[in-house]
Structures are given as C-alpha cells and as structure tokens.
Structure 1
Amino acid sequence: MKERIVDSAYAAGWGLVKSLPEGLATSAFRLAADLAVRRGGGGVRQLRRNLRRVVPQASPQELDDLVRAAMRSYARYWKETFRLPAMDAKAIARRMDETVVGRDLVDKALARGNGLVVALPHTGNFDASGIWVAHHCDGFTTVAERLKPESLYERFLAYRESLGFEVLPLTGGETSPYRVMVERLKQNRVICLVADRDLTRMGTPVTFFGEETRMPAGPARLAASTGATLMVLDNLFDGDGWTVRFHSPQLVESRADAPAATQRLADHYAADIAAHPADWHMLQKLWVADLPEARRAALSAG
C-alpha cells in the first residue's frame, strides 16, 4: 500500500507540477520546505547533524538558517525534477553553455581516447547538469537504484532517458552495469556517477570533514580498469539557473591506487560543499558514527 501511495505521489508530481505557473510552483515547494523544517522530521534532523559537520563554527541561529536554506534548495531540486520534462532540453543546454566551468578539461579528457568518469555529490540539480553533459558529449551513461515498486523505477527511468541519459539498473539488469560502463569507456564515452555515499561493505573508507565514512569504489575502479580520466563535477544553483563546474581531473594508475583516488574525491567534495553548504542535499545518515552500533560492527567486520 505504501509503495502504491508513493508511486501515485510521483505520478501526480510529473503530471501536475509541470503544468503550474512557475511562480506558483516555486512558492508551493518553498512552503513545503519551510513546513518540513518546522515539523523537524527525521530527514531534517539528520540534515542538521550533517551540516553541523560542514560548518562546525555556526551558531544555533546560523545553523537554523542554513537548514532552512538547504531544505528550500532540496525542494527546488524536486520542483525542477517534475518540470524539466516539459522544458526544452536544448535551450537549457545552450543557456548553461554560458556558465560551464572546465569545459576544456572535459574535451581534453575525451581527446585522450579512454573515456571520462565524472563523479559528483548530491548537490544542486545534477539532472540539469546532466542535460548539458548529454548535449555536449552526445549522451552519457549512469546507474540508478531499482526503486520499488517497479512502476516508480520505470517513471524515473523514463524521466532521465527523456533528458538524454542512458540509465543502467543497479540490480536486475541482463548485464552487470560495471561491465557495460567499462565497454562505454572503451568506446570513449562519458560515465556520470553520484558518489558521495555508500555505507555498505563495498564502500571505500574515507575521511570526510574529519570523520570516517564510506564512498563508492566504482568511479576510481572504472578509471583504473580503463585508463579513463576521473573528474569531479560540482553542481550549483545560480539564480534561477544552474552552473556546471568540472575540476580536479586525475588518472588512477591501478586498482591499488583506487582507495587513494577515492579519498581525493572526498576531499574535493568537501571543499565544494563547504563553499555552498545549502545546496548539499544529504538528508540520510552519512558518517559511520551516526549508524547503529550493530551496523558499525558489521562494517568493521567487512
């Protein structure tokens, strides 16, 4: 029952929100964000704990203001998610051409002929950034969690494919997504992966804002396996638009170097997030210290 309700809510979002006037949609989502902050549910409380690590010097009032701004930013992301399918993707890409930073790094990486792995955190609107990447690089490949119910996964699949992305299911596909991504890199294509959270035994231990967490091993391992350039993408809200910033390219010489490369990604994410913390949408537990004792023990045992 709960899964059907969630699916129906997303269906209503894509059906209704895109037809609302922009001003009304913006006001409605901002109001929803402010109400969520006042309610102080689990996601908001975790966001506050996460942001305190980013800005430990903040006063209680400053932290309150930051949490409110972050929830408004998160609400903007969802408003845009529901409205992007009705917008002109080519026009969005042309508009973003004026604000892209690091385009030369992307072109240089692809000129090497071994593909490009772009790793990014949960900041800004990575779907809007993806529109620019898809148009500039003639598409790219990413991976998506197989949501439940299946109809909800299909909705997100259709949404991102409509923006020009090739989306591989994390599980349940005919072929391993890692194998497909290796093949795409051999074809000198682009892989984009959201890579700032993986609290499983497969995640790579890193230090992030001075504390232990885990991040996905996939981006660095793909780069090591194929010779692809590994690069960071910073997604920024910029007024009523978006800025894409590519930076910090690195080559990963071997699988043995992958953990150090992942730590470098974590360091770059930290610098970017500290520069615009309100646009980091991390409402889940991220640091190992926040996990239940049994979960921490399981990670240590792994």
Structure 2
Amino acid sequence: MSRAPAGSADGLPARLTDLGYAAGWQAVQRLPEPVARGAFDAAGRLAARREGRGTRQLRANLRVATRGELDEDELRDLTGRGLRSYARYWQEAFRLPRLDPARVLRDTEAPGGEHLTAARDRTRPAIVALPHSGNWDAAGIWFVDWLGGPFMTVAERLRPESLYERFVAFRETLGMRVVPLTGGPRPSAAVLREWLESGGSVCLLVDRDLSGAGVPVDFFGRRTTMPGGPALLAAQTGASLHSAVSRFSDTGWVHDIGPEIPLDGGPRLRDRVGSAMQGLADAFTAGIAQRPEDWHVLGPIWPDVPPDPPAGERR
C-alpha cells in the first residue's frame, strides 16, 4: 500500500486529503474504462517527463534490476513504461470495487498454482510473499477465490486515519482481512500467527523493509534487508512459504507462484529464517526480471542506491 500525504488526523489538511481521495475514487469509478485508462496512462507519461524524486529513484532501482545492461535511452524508456504500469495499478485499484470478480478471474493466469494445491492437500495453510509488482489487489481476488474464503494481510498505516480506514474497507470488500502494521490493539505478528494456527492463509508484501530492522539478503546482486516475517511465521506455524510475482498482461493479470521455499538453513531459527528470506529474494529477482516495468518501487531499496540526479546533472 502506498503512503498518502501526511497530515494531522483531525486538522483541515487531513480532511481535505481524505475528501480529495474519496472524490477521485468515485470519479474514476464513474468514468468509462477506456477514458480512465487513458487518463492514468497520460498521468504516468507526465510523471516521467517531470522526473520527480520518486521517478528518479525508480530509474535507479531499475538500473540495478536490469544489471546495468541498459544504455541511458533504454533506461529512460523502461522508467517511462514503469510509471505507466504504476498508473495502471492505481487506475485498476480505484475501479476494482466496480469490476465483476468473474471478469478478473477470467482474465487471470496463475502459473504455479499447483504448488499451493500441494500444500492444501496436506492441510497446511500458506504464506504467500509478494513484491510490489503488477496488481497485488487483483492477485488477492484470485487468492480469495482459490481459497474459497478470506486471507489475512498487513497494511501500512496511512494518515489521515480516515484515509487508512477507506483503504482497509476497500480491501475487505475484496475478501481480505487487514491488520495494521503498527498502531493496532495487538502486534500484527501475533494476529497473523493466530490466524495461521487456526488454518487461515496469509499474503504479505515484503520487498521493502520499512522498519530498517529486516533480514539481510542479496537482491539483484546487492545487499539489502527484507522483513523476515514470512519466514519466521512459516517456521513458527508449519505453514508453507511461497513467492508470488504479479505482472500485467495486455488484457489482464499474471501471478507466478513459486514452489515451497524450504526452511533448512541450519539448526538455529535465525539461520533458517535468513535462508528462507534469501530464497524469497532469489524468486523475486527471477520474477521481476521477466517484466521489470511492472515492479512499482519508487522508494529506496538498497542503502547504496540513491535517486538518480535530475537529467541536467547526469553525466
């Protein structure tokens, strides 16, 4: 979930932020789909031309994700496609409450779904870890249908509180059960663990370490950290741990689901969690490389990869 503009939860700026999102949400839902898609595509193109900080960070991230193999023109083109893909995500997110789930399911491919079926056949819940790629809300619709019921996920708390509640309500209409990353009545990890122990399944976005206290991994050949929650929960509950990397197709969505990631890194829990998180990072690397423009990360991933400088300052 993306971070909304900050503001006092009770102040006028916060209320205006929430009202602005609500009005935009309703307006986009009322537009004919081709008009909405064209408007958001144009917004993505405009963002690419303006080269704000997020755009320049995306460019730097994509340089790493493509192993530095693109020249400057190719990287600029990829970054532009990435922003248009991100705009498509938001256009679809705003319109998903009005879309027939049957249409989403019809236009969804889920290669690797047999790996989840194998876990279900052994009556094990699943933990599915995803990067911010493609449309993870559409992936949620598919997973709810596959499960025949809800799964649990975690959301970054937004400000104002009313905006956070709006996003939570939206996702719960899709069949998700959402707990806040911070500020809830109980720690999110405890709630997730109980859900898994009762037989429920979990989906978590884990390619950004917002806490700064994650597990060290190599990701696209560079050292960074990722939240260790998926692997720790799998070790604690016996749930099967899988990667899923989403991307767009011309008409719909593809969610590549990986085989179960083993927790066999040694006798110590810390080592098993670290090994499993590296397995997730490797799966993300392979999946994102198939279509890097659908990886929507406009914030820092690696501590030594800052945003690119503005175009006029590049060598």
TM-score (norm 1): 0.92
Of the candidates 51, 57, 61, which is equivalent to residue 73 of structure 2?
61
Aligned ranges 1:194-273 → 2 under 5 Å: 194-252=205-263, 255-256=269-270, 257-273=272-288
What is the Cα deviation at residue 272 of structure 1? Answer: 0.9
Number of the residue aligned with 2:5:
none
- Pairing 1:180–2:194 present: no
Number of the residue aligned with 2:136:
126
Amino acid at match of 2:33: E
The sequence identity of aligned pairs, in percent, is 46
1:227/1:252 contact within 8 Å kept? no
Aligned ranges 1:1-12 → 2 under 5 Å: 1-12=12-23
Number of the residue aligned with 2:6:
none
Number of the residue aligned with 2:290:
275
Of 246-255 and 33-42, deviating more is: 246-255
What is the Cα deviation at residue 212 of structure 1? Answer: 1.4
Of the candidates 149, 171, 175, which is equivalent to residue 164 of structure 1?
175
Number of the residue aligned with 2:105:
93
Of 207-216 and 194-203, deviating more is: 194-203
Gaps of 5+ in 1: 293-302
Cα root mean square deviation, aligned:
1.6
2:217/2:223 contact within 8 Å kept? yes
Of 131-140 and 87-96, deviating more is: 87-96
SS at match of 2:115: helix
SS at match of 2:90: helix
What is the Cα deviation at residue 70 of structure 1? Answer: 0.3
Number of the residue aligned with 1:297:
none
CA offsets, 1:222-266, max 9 Å, x none? 000011110001112111211122113123256230011101111
1:90/1:135 contact within 8 Å kept? no
Of 5-14 and 52-61, deviating more is: 5-14
CA offsets, 1:159-205, max 9 Å, x none? 10011101011122222221121122112221000010105342111
2:261/2:279 contact within 8 Å kept? no
1:199/1:286 contact within 8 Å kept? no
CA–CA separation in structure 2 for the residues paired with 1:40 and 1:291: 14
SS at match of 1:192: strand
Of the candidates 204, 207, 224, which is equivalent to residue 193 of structure 1?
204
CA–CA separation in structure 2 for the residues paired with 1:252 and 1:25: 44
1:102/1:247 contact within 8 Å kept? yes
What is the Cα deviation at residue 143 of structure 1? Answer: 0.5
Deviating beyond 6 angstroms after TM superposition, the runs of 4 or more aligned structure 1 residues are none
1:124/1:236 contact within 8 Å kept? yes
Amino acid at match of 2:133: T
Amino acid at match of 1:255: L
- How many residues align structurally? 290
Higher helix share: 1
CA–CA separation in structure 1 for the residues paired with 2:306 and 2:39: 34
What is the Cα deviation at residue 9 of structure 1? Answer: 2.8
Aligned ranges 1:111-122 → 2 under 5 Å: 111-122=121-132
Of the candidates 72, 80, 88, which is equivalent to residue 76 of structure 1?
88
2:61/2:305 contact within 8 Å kept? no
CA offsets, 1:262-292, max 9 Å, x none? 0111111111111110000010011011369
- Pairing 1:17–2:38 present: no
SS at match of 1:68: helix
Of the candidates 299, 305, 314, which is equivalent to residue 284 of structure 1?
299
Gaps of 5+ in 2: 1-11, 308-315
1:114/1:226 contact within 8 Å kept? no
2:132/2:207 contact within 8 Å kept? yes
1:114/1:185 contact within 8 Å kept? no
